[in-house]
Amino acid sequence: MRYRRITPYLFIGPMIVGLLVFRLIPIVASLAASFTRWNVFTAPTWVGLANYRAMLGSPDFWQILRNTGVFALLYVPGTMGLGLALALLVNRELRGVTALRGVFFMPYITSVVAVAIVWRWIFATQYGVLNYLLTRVFGMAQGPSWLGDAHYALLALAIVYVWQSSGFQMLLFLAGLQNLDLSLEEAARCDGATRWQVFRHITLPLLSPMTFFILIVSLINSSKTFQVTYALTGGGPQNASTTLAYAIYQNAFVFFRMGYASALAYALLVVVGAITLANFGLRRRWVYHDEPRAS
C-alpha cells in the first residue's frame, strides 16, 4: 500500500507526543533524579550512587523486595490457575454458561477501591464475616487479625487481588481456547487418547502462546499494587505488606525523599524488566509455534 511519506507520522503523531512527554522522558528523568538528594522544596543536589548504596544497605529495602516477590508468587499462580480452570469449565455448551461467564467476570468490572473496602469489612477481626465462619462454622479457636498481623497481611492482599482479576484471566484464556483448531483434539480422542492426555499434550501446547501473554500481563500486574495496598493496609503492619510500588509512593509523596524514591522506582523497573526478559528468553522452551517449516 502506498501512502504519502508524511501520512503515517500524522496518524501516529498524537500517540508519539504522549509517549515522549508522559512515558519516555519521565523514564530518563527518573534515572537522573535517582542520583540526587531532593525534597521537592529545594533544588536537587547530585549525590552519585548514594541513594542506591543506602537502598542496598537498608534492611527495609530487602523486606520490601521480599514482599514484592512473595506477593507475585501468591498472585500470579493463583490468578492464572483459577483463570484457566474457569475458562476450561465455561468453554462448553452448558445451560446458563453465558450467565456464569458474566458472574466470573464481574469482580473485574468493579472499582478496585470499592472491592478492597468490602474485603476489609469481610476481613474485620471481631465482627467480620470471614472470622465468624472460621470460628463458628469451621471450629477454629480464634480467627486471625487478617490485616493487622504481619503473617497474614500480604496473603489478604493477594486474596483480594486474585478474586478481583481471575475473571479477566478467564476471559483471555477463553478467547485463546475459542481460537484453537478443534480437529486435532477430536482426532486424538478418536485415536483413543484420554481427556487428560488430550488436555496435557494438545490443548495446553496449542494454548501456550496465549498462556505466555497472560503470564507476562499477570507478572506486570503483580507489581501494580498501589490501589489495593492503599485502601486495605497502607503497607502495614510496620512494613509487612509494603511492596515496591507502594514504597515509591511513600518515599516520594509522604516522606518527600524524591531521590531515594526514584532509586526505588529504578529497582522496580529492573526487577520487572529482568523477569520479563527472562520469560522471553525461556519462551522457546515451552511456547508452541505454529509456523510452517521449510521442508
**Interface residues for another protein in 221-280 (CB under 8 A)?**
223-224, 226-227, 230-231, 244-245, 248-249, 252-253, 258, 261-262, 265-266, 268-269, 272-273, 276
Nearer to another protein, 128 or 152 (CB): 128
Residue 220 as a binder of another protein (CB under 8 A): the answer is: yes
Length of the chain: 295
In sign, the C-alpha dihedral spanning 109, 110, 112, 116 is negative
Q: If you write DSSP's letter for every residue of 9-20 in order, what string do you get?
A: HHHHHHHHHHII
Whole-angstrom Cα distance, residue 129 to residue 6? 62
Residue 52 as a binder of another protein (CB under 8 A): the answer is: no
Nearer to another protein, 71 or 266 (CB): 266
**Residue 100, Cβ density class (10 Å: 0-12 exposed, 13-18 middle, ≥19 buried):** middle
Report CA-CA distances (Å) from 65 to 59, 60, 71, 182, 265.
10, 9, 10, 43, 12
Whole-angstrom Cα distance, residue 142 to residue 129? 13
User: In the set 147, 156, 177, 240, which binds another protein (CB under 8 A)?
Assistant: 177
Residue 11 as a binder of another protein (CB under 8 A): the answer is: yes
CB of 283 to another protein, least distance (A): 13
Residue 104 as a binder of another protein (CB under 8 A): the answer is: yes
User: In the set 112, 154, 156, 158, which binds another protein (CB under 8 A)?
Assistant: 112
By CB under 8 A, which span of 1-9, 55-63, 66-74, 147-155 interacts with another protein? 1-9
Whole-angstrom Cα distance, residue 72 to residue 219? 7
Nearer to another protein, 35 or 104 (CB): 104
Whole-angstrom Cα distance, residue 167 to residue 173? 10
For the segment 29-48, give every residue that binds another protein (CB under 8 A). 29-30, 33
Residue 174 as a binder of another protein (CB under 8 A): the answer is: yes
CB of 237 to another protein, least distance (A): 15
Return the ∠ at Cα 274 (arms to 270 and 275), rounded to 5°.
120
User: In the set 49, 56, 117, 150, which binds another protein (CB under 8 A)?
Assistant: 117
CB of 53 to another protein, least distance (A): 20
Other beta carbons within 10 Å of 140 = 12
Nearer to another protein, 9 or 295 (CB): 9
Whole-angstrom Cα distance, residue 175 to residue 173? 5
Residue 127 as a binder of another protein (CB under 8 A): the answer is: yes
In sign, the C-alpha dihedral spanning 12, 15, 18, 23 is negative
Nearer to another protein, 213 or 295 (CB): 213
Please name the residue that has the C-alpha cell 500470579: 76
Residue 150 as a binder of another protein (CB under 8 A): the answer is: no
CB of 58 to another protein, least distance (A): 19
Nearer to another protein, 224 or 295 (CB): 224
